[in-house]
Amino acid sequence: MILQNLPLFDYNNGTFMIIIFALVCVALVVALLSMINSGKKVDEDENQQDNFVNSDSNNTENEKE
């Protein structure tokens, strides 16, 4: 009779662990996105100048051959 009143399982611990797991996943995604977006920003003008310099150096190397 006493055994019928004892619960054989408890959902509280599992629910708590699932909530903690979800919070850890969200924190990891936020950390990943912040690391992706924190890269060094290159201005378009600087990038175009670098491409122009690289193309000039390639042309002069081709002319030397």
Nearest-5° Cα angle at 21, 15 to 26: 125
Residue 60: pLDDT band (50, 70, 90) is low
pLDDT, tens only, 3-59: 677 776 778 888 999 999 999 999 999 999 999 999 877 666 666 666 666 666 666
Residue 63: pLDDT band (50, 70, 90) is low
Query: Tell me, what's the pLDDT at 28?
Result: 98
pTM assigned to the model? 0.49
Per-residue exposure over 25-48, b if at least 16 CB sit within 10 Å of its own CB, e if not:
eeeeeeeeeeeeeeeeeeeeeeee
